[in-house]
Structure 1
Amino acid sequence: MTNTPEVPTPESEPAASEATLPTTGTGDHAATASPHRDAALDDGTFAHIREPKGEARLPLGDGTWHQLARPYVWVQLISGGFFFALVLAVAVVMTVVLGQWWIWIPAGVVLVITGIGLIITPRQARAVGYQLRRDDLVFRKGILWQRVVAVPYGRMQLVDITHGPLDRGFGIAQLKLVTAAASTGVVIPGLTQAAAEVLRDTLIDVAETRRTGL
């Protein structure tokens, strides 16, 4: 009787662990990334973050940057356009009815500033982004005046989601991170409702692993 050689059965591969977020620092715990979470954070957002031109700009660094939802631009344009129309209407009424021509001096300044803001709103929105690193959340914004804030997970005391009537109409919200130091607090506007909830839950989970903050 011929003995047939045993065919070795392949060992089951261990389940792949969730990839940790890109980091430039060290820490005992790391927030983990998942396809579901990343899909929620990046659904309906801009494709890539806009950088200021020039060698003196603040670098983006490594890691994945998440951006704002596209409807955020429409919300800003509608609210800014309404304010522009309101100021213009008040100036016209005061000129025609009351004969107050001087009103065009302050009104003109406000209209010019508001008009410029409306024009650069799409560019400004694409320059806003946030990154989830191993030990902190990094938030950046601005083209001419750049701001980059790093909020350690362990310093977070409150994660608040708010949205007004216009925001709800476009399905977006803003997420506010409150820390012990008011100067390091961050407000991330223009998130989709799903992204705001997923980001809130992620930050709460990470803060709990630090056993500080929330």
Structure 2
Amino acid sequence: METGTTGGAGRPDWVGLPGGLLALRRLLLVIWTVPLAAGTALLLGLTAGPAWAAAGAFWLVLPAWGWVLLGRNWRSWRYAERADDLLISRGVLWREQTVVPYGRMQLVEVTSGPLERRFGLASVQLHTAAAASDAKIPGLVPAEAERLRDRLTELGEARSAGL
């Protein structure tokens, strides 16, 4: 993608998140709900009888429902680099779009926790003077996160020098 460009009719060129973030979140969903279902079934089976053990299957509905919701949420995340600012859009029911002017950025950092590193992911965190306006782009490939950090830092320095 060429940065700082807009699509047809003046619309920005949006970039979605790679699939690794979706895979990580779905794995965490399964890791938390399957043992919960098994524990509930075992506990109810031992204390209330085998018929009640089937109630543990309730927790297996959660991953099926969450699987779909996580996919919709992941598809909603996107960002676009424009000439003067960075746009971050997310949300399914409540759409949220954040506009971060390059000249207002004070710090751009790339973070990657143990699970993110295992899945080859990193997040870009943008800090501005107003704490409420800090923005984050999760689940990027580390090379893209570093490229974005370097570009945003360069643009931020250039724009703030003109203030």
TM-score (norm 2): 0.79
Question: Any stretches of 5+ residues in structure 1 without a counterpart?
Answer: 1-18, 24-59
Pick the structure with more helix per residue: 2
Code of the residue aligned with 1:83 in structure 2: it is W
> 1:122 matched to which residue of 2?
71
Q: Is 1:148 the counterpart of 2:87 in the alignment?
A: no
Counterpart of 1:135 (choices 78, 84, 97) is 84
Counterpart of 2:4 (choices 7, 21, 31) is 21
Q: Please, which moves more after superposition, 79-88 or 185-194?
A: 79-88
> 1:77 matched to which residue of 2?
26
Q: Is 1:96 the counterpart of 2:79 in the alignment?
A: no
Q: Is 1:210 the counterpart of 2:148 in the alignment?
A: no
Counterparts of residues 1-214 of structure 1 (less than 5 Å): 21-22=4-5, 62-99=11-48, 108=58, 112-211=61-160
- The answer to whether the Cα contact below 8 Å between 1:84 and 1:115 also exists between their aligned partners in 2 is no
What is the RMSD computed on CA atoms of the aligned residues? 2.8
Structure 1 residue 87: deviation in Å?
2.2
Code of the residue aligned with 1:64 in structure 2: it is D
Code of the residue aligned with 2:70 in structure 1: it is T
Question: Which protein has the larger Cα radius of gyration, Structure 1 or Structure 2?
Answer: 1
* Alpha-carbon distance between aligned partners in 1 of 2:148 and 2:91, rounded to the nearest angstrom: 22
Question: Any stretches of 5+ residues in structure 2 without a counterpart?
Answer: none
* Alpha-carbon distance between aligned partners in 1 of 2:140 and 2:5, rounded to the nearest angstrom: 21
Matched position secondary structure for 1:211: helix
Q: How has the CA–CA distance of structure 1 residues 194 and 20 changed in structure 2, closer, same or farther, with 3 Å as cutoff?
A: closer
- The answer to whether the Cα contact below 8 Å between 1:73 and 1:122 also exists between their aligned partners in 2 is yes
Q: How has the CA–CA distance of structure 1 residues 170 and 61 changed in structure 2, closer, same or farther, with 3 Å as cutoff?
A: farther
Matched position secondary structure for 2:93: coil
% of aligned pairs identical? 36
Q: How has the CA–CA distance of structure 1 residues 112 and 149 changed in structure 2, closer, same or farther, with 3 Å as cutoff?
A: farther
- The answer to whether the Cα contact below 8 Å between 2:17 and 2:139 also exists between their aligned partners in 1 is yes
- The answer to whether the Cα contact below 8 Å between 2:122 and 2:138 also exists between their aligned partners in 1 is yes
Q: How has the CA–CA distance of structure 1 residues 22 and 83 changed in structure 2, closer, same or farther, with 3 Å as cutoff?
A: same
Structure 1 residue 99: deviation in Å?
4.6
Code of the residue aligned with 2:68 in structure 1: it is I
- The answer to whether the Cα contact below 8 Å between 2:3 and 2:81 also exists between their aligned partners in 1 is no
Q: How has the CA–CA distance of structure 1 residues 140 and 115 changed in structure 2, closer, same or farther, with 3 Å as cutoff?
A: same
Count, aligned residues: 154
* Alpha-carbon distance between aligned partners in 2 of 1:114 and 1:180, rounded to the nearest angstrom: 39
Structure 1 residue 98: deviation in Å?
4.8
- The answer to whether the Cα contact below 8 Å between 1:81 and 1:118 also exists between their aligned partners in 2 is no
